[in-house]
Amino acid sequence: MTHVITGACIGAKHKELSCTEICPMNCIHGTASDEIFYIDPEECIDCGACVPACPREAIFPEGKVPEKWQGFVQINADYFKNKK
Amino acid sequence: MATNLNPRTYRIVGTQRQIDERETPHPRADRGELGERIRLGRKNRHSSDALRRTIVANRDIVKERAVNPQRTPVSDPAAMARTIKEAARFFGAAVVGITHLDQAYVYSHRAKDDGNGNKAGDPIKLTHKYAICMGFAGDFERYMACNSMISAAEYEMGHRQEMLGTSLLATFIRELGYPAQTHGHGGYVLNPIPLAVNAGLGELGRHGMLIHEEYGSRLHLSVVTTDLPLAVDEPVDMGVEEVCKVCMKCAQTCPTYSIPFGDKVVVNGVEKWAIDVDSCYKGRITAGGEFMVCLICTTSCCYHKRSSWWHTLAGWMLIRIPIPLRTLYIKPLLFLDDLIWGKKPWLQMQWMGYDNAPSPVTCSIPGCIAKHKPLEQKPLHKVPKKTIK
């Protein structure tokens, strides 16, 4: 299990870095050209600290991602392929 | 060779030769040069006294000794409890209490082989009547270097001291002629925390650990279970219930968000504050890049203070205030605690060549703009509004 950043983050990423700041594993990443931040599913310990820190309510546990954002589970995981 | 030494208590007046170890008393006694009586006396490891046998004869402290068949009769369990507590303190425990062994806190099955023929998965049968609960205190300052090699060294050294003291107490009880089993680092078949609460060592805190009025949570807990007749202690009221309701410093500082802000919940038939064990454990194992001990909740606890008259006085007054009024007393104290010790107590220090200054986080993702920070610099979690009382 991991937590997932969803489409609600789009447009907010560059203003709000609160999730990346509070994550104890420092496993939330993103570059200036990315639409959102991404959670590395291999590093995430599922603590949920990022959930209340997100002002956009864009972060969910993998098992509770709303239907319309389901695609972001794979998007988060795919982001880290070939990056490490 | 140093030539300018000039100690006041001896004076070098000639040429010195190195001493042959064989000239020292023990080897001479072993060779019989000091007489047959001394040679035999040197070999003798027997004593009529249980404490003497425990300290002198039992050099191999880890090995479980057999129970002495000559049982010391116990006519006064209260007096024996006092003796056992004094022995525990002598063996290094900072605090000790005794309670009945509640089977609810004995594990049902073993997780690993114990080296004495019991295999992983075997049911646990522990029928001892009493649990002697001990707490071995860590060093205040080195704990304050939390999440570093300094605090990790202190924490692990505490395990070593706890193993020694616990093993010696069990040996002492066996030498008195009663069965005893150690439950310490690397060999628990029970949960020591509720037993320690029942034995009056302290109270259960929001962070899921025992809080002692003087040492806070920097205690390594261990237990010796036995059938030696003992008087038992009662749980204590230190005011932790009221303090933990309003303090929440541990919940705010826990990097892995594992400590609840909310009310108690029922877990396995017990109503208590319940931490997220998995995220705590996973964070602790991997957050530092290697096995580490976080200890941030321990040091952020407002009971974690140096031994001092003002700390003792604050606790002394708290338990004398009627329960409904305690919050009025606690809130100003917590304000002062934040003011003096900080919202996130932590000390930067150098010790034995180590420096616990936080290391910058290196990110493996090219071009990453995230605000990565070491645990020491993580922001506090906000207290949810609905839990503020």
pLDDT tens-digit series, residues B219-236: 999 999 999 999 999 999
pLDDT of B62 higher than 50: no
CB contact at 8 A, B356 and B148: yes
- The CATH class, in words, for A3-79 is alpha beta
CB contact under 8 A, B256 and A24: yes
CB contact at 8 A, A19 and A79: no
* Of A26, A29, A45, Cβ closest to residue B256: A45
Query: If we measure between CA atoms, which residue out of A69, A26, A3 comes closest to residue B369?
Result: A26
State the ipTM, two decimals.
0.91
- Which residue in chain B has the smallest CA separation from A83? B365
- Which residue in chain A has the smallest CA separation from B361? A26
pLDDT of A24-76, one tens digit each?
Answer: 999 999 998 998 999 999 999 999 999 999 998 999 999 999 999 999 999 98
3-state DSSP assignment of residue B33: coil
* Of B256, B278, B370, Cβ closest to residue A30: B370
Partners of residue B371 in chain A, C-beta under 8 Å: 17, 20-21
Looking at residue B379, its pLDDT comes to 93
CB contact under 8 A, B370 and A28: yes
Looking at residue A14, its pLDDT comes to 61
d(CA A4, CA A24): 15
Q: Does B276 touch chain A (CB under 8 A)?
A: yes
For chain B, domain boundaries: 23-47, 50-226, 240-356+371-387
* Of B279, B365, B366, Cβ closest to residue A46: B279
Burial class (CB in 10 A: 0-12, 13-18, 19+), B272: middle
